[in-house]
Chain A
Amino acid sequence: MTALTFRRGGVSLRVERQTLVLAAVMVVLIVGLMVLGLCYGASWMSPARVFDALSGGRGGVYVREWRLPRVVATAVFGMALGAAGAIFQNVTRNPLGAPDVIGLDAGAYTGALFAFTVLSGTAVQLATGSIIGGLVVAGIVYALSLGGGLSGFRLIVIGIALNAMINAINSWIILRVSLDVAIAATGWNQGSLNGLSWGKIQFPIVIIVALLALLALRSYTMHQDSLGAALSVTTGVNARRLRLHLVLLGVGLTATVTAVCGPIAFIALSAPQIGRRLARAPGIPLLPAAFTGAVLLLASDLVAQILLAPVSLPVGVVTTAVGGCYLIWLLSKEVRRR
């Protein structure tokens, strides 16, 4: 196992070679899937025509204004979900501690539903509403699991129960509103990337990129924290501040995606674990989780478009179907471990 060392002035860094290789492969895979996403749509376009369209040729408006925002948003949102999953799995020290499992997605969706049905539903209102919803659920889960601490099975079980309750509340809200609002909200409930335009995604993408940048600044400390509660503190991690920052960043990432697409289940749960196994890196590494999230969401969205073409399914249907199997496997593994 080899590593590369970089040292210049006061800057120094060590990277495992296999991390670099994995990152390069992931980037190629993501770009490949994005190009495929540009080619596929109501009609197939060859990559040559797509590149022509991107540079202003025939059919350019269609590719640039419809397909391009969709694949860009899918890649960025997938990274956000993967990163958020890695955050919460690190904070809870549990592979089940993903935001979608413990009800943060559902809570964010409640906030967004409120903004959508009671307020006028602008992008800023949706984002704010879903972030508040996510934070409220995070607060409730934390308060209820105080006895067992932030780690531990107790938090997960409480989160799963809360998730079910919030989903019931969300259904109730949808039943109470007028039919056309309800139809719009229901499609969104499955987590859908259909009909994204630059106007809808500009603001969320700026937020996500900013949150990911902040997260990158905290990632080295986050990985140090995986040494456990005692050694993390005695080697110099300010654990309380770190955890607060991480929860805020994780809720921000999850809620921003939910505000645009509705809750997309299981990416945040599975991406960090798949990324971890691919990278063979210690703990739950952040970068592989983010890249795997992007790959999973891009691939799921392609499947969602192809499966019942020309009808384009909400991507959440695909991620839930695949992720449900994964969750059953993971749950049985976790229960057996205890």
Chain B
Amino acid sequence: MSTSRLTARDLTLRYGERVVSTGLTVDVPDGAFTAIVGPNACGKSTLLKALVRLIRPSEGSVSLDGRDVNAFPTKEVARQLGFLPQDPVAPEDIRVRQLVMRGRFPHQTLLSTWSEADEKAVAEAMSAAGVADLAERPVQQLSGGQRQRVWIALVLAQDTSYLLLDEPTSFLDITHQYQLLDLLSRLRNQGRTVITVLHDINQACRYADHLVAMKAGQIVAEGAPVDVVSAELLKEVFDLPCVVVPDPVTGTPMVVPLPGEH
């Protein structure tokens, strides 16, 4: 197992009185593609939000390089951890380039809001996400898939070593889903650490180096997909009778549900 700069220790996560998770411990492997899977309302998004300090754990702590993320200056964390929420809302009348530029905020100061580095990062992020030709279009006029790629570009422009994404494929058609996953793979190959919540277990098996399966706020299994994904795990986590066969293309585990009354 590789090293982990980003770790969570014994987290208790709650919304007011409602406790989502207790004693949650995760080590995010550096430079890997980590996928978090689990049924609805199992605490996947909550864990992701805790990692990017949107939720402060009532017990335990999230550390980056051994330091509590809530103890850092907020811009310093924002230069390390990039996050894409599930349903971001763009400000009214904003154009694609203007929205992507907002990703540069943690690198800017009051006096320097458009350096050469900013300009370069925005251009690279837009071309990596495939939205360079949309630069002057109003975001509101874009299709759901285009819009999602614009948000990805914003997070890429942030130029962080970590990319955390909450169900980034949910508004995309199947082609765009795989394009996005390929893009995330390329970014991992370039040395970034990717952590994403995915709904499709087969996509998670194919793309992830490290799989985290959650149920009822707890981690049930984690490790390389080929080591952890089995019919027993699927029964336990999703209550889904199935067989697991090798993916004909990649050889990674592939889940085939059995017919019957689920």
**Residues in chain A within 8 A of chain B (CB atoms):** 1, 5, 7, 10-14, 217, 220, 223-224, 226-228, 230-231, 233-238, 276, 280-283
Contact = CB atoms under 8 A, between A and B. Distances in A.
Given A224-B105, A236-B105, A231 B83 contact: yes
B122 to A, nearest CB: 10
Interface residues on B, range: 35 or more
A224 B84 CA distance: 15
B191 interface: no
Name, among A1, A227, A237, A280, the residue most crowded by chain B CB atoms within 10 Å (CB to CB).
A227
B91 A12 contact: no
B88 A231 contact: yes
B9 to A, nearest CB: 21
Interface in B62-99: 74-75, 77-79, 81-85, 88-95, 98-99
Interface stretch (B107-115, B200-208, B245-253): B107-115
B83 A12 contact: no
Interface string B179-203: 0000000000000000000000000
A234 B88 contact: no
Interface string B40-60: 000000000100111000000
Contacts of B119: 5
Contacts, number: 93
B95 A1 contact: yes
A10 B112 contact: yes
B106 A11 contact: no
Contacts of A282: 90-95, 98-99
Contacts of B74: 233, 236-238
Given A235-B102, A282-B94, 14 more contacts: A1-B95, A217-B110, A223-B91, A226-B91, A227-B91, A228-B88, A231-B154, A233-B53, A234-B52, A236-B78, A236-B106, A280-B93, A281-B93, A282-B90
Contacts of B94: 282-283
A196 B158 CA distance: 51
Contacts of B54: 230, 233-234
A231 B84 CA distance: 7
